[in-house]
Chain A
Amino acid sequence: DAKTTQPPSMDCAEGRAANLPCNHSTISGNEYVYWYRQIHSQGPQYIIHGLKNNETNEMASLIITEDRKSSTLILPHATLRDTAVYYCIVSGTSYGKLTFGQGTILTVHP
């Protein structure tokens, strides 16, 4: 699975959009981009995933560049409860072999 690079930490004001970048320049054609988050040592929570098209669900939006070498997770209206570690993972159909890096610590401020 391709390696990902994320900034170690980011801040965001409550109510504003949080834009979390991820670089995955070695992604291959059959690999998906997944986003999970982990709130205070709880089990990771799935947020969204995509292959090449932009995706949106009730939690977030995922923007993948046309060359698929990077992506951005967007939390449109961040709340204090969105403070967490966000993991960007690139994975093919590899039976649960999610490779978690260090992720981005997002802190949402009042």
Chain B
Amino acid sequence: NAGVTQTPKFQVLKTGQSMTLQCAQDMNHEYMSWYRQDPGMGLRLIHYSVGAGITDQGEVPNGYNVSRSTTEDFPLRLLSAAPSQTSVYFCASSYSRGGTGTRGYTFGSGTRLTVV
């Protein structure tokens, strides 16, 4: 099924561990983004990419790295996990950069991360 696939769905990390959250889309979308959502809050942008090889920081980038070696994949790396990074992480992709697209952003189902 076409869409945005995130893995894993759930993860528990110990403080100081590192890990990579995977995001893949099969819609040939140029634009991809990572958001985090804390309990009772709206989503906040972490990093985004406008195409393979091009990434930039969003609102809350500290503690996270991204790379975009292919159009399909946009992994998010936690360098040294902290309890403050306990959150739900959503990946999103879009055909257009906004406005001209007809379907907006497609979001994945999320990765629920707990750092203890």
Contacts from A to B (Cβ < 8 Å): 30, 32, 34, 36, 41-47, 49, 51, 87, 91-103
Contacts and interface: CB of A to CB of B under 8 A. Distances in A.
A41 B33 contact: no
29 contacts: A30-B99, A32-B98, A32-B99, A36-B104, A41-B110, A42-B110, A43-B92, A43-B109, A44-B43, A44-B90, A44-B92, A44-B105, A46-B105, A91-B98, A92-B99, A93-B99, A94-B97, A94-B98, A95-B48, A95-B56, A96-B33, A96-B50, A96-B92, A96-B98, A97-B45, A98-B45, A100-B35, A101-B42, A102-B42
B5 to A, nearest CB: 11
Interface residues of B, number: 31
Interface of B: 4, 31-33, 35, 41-45, 48, 50, 56, 58-59, 88, 90, 92, 94, 97-100, 103-110
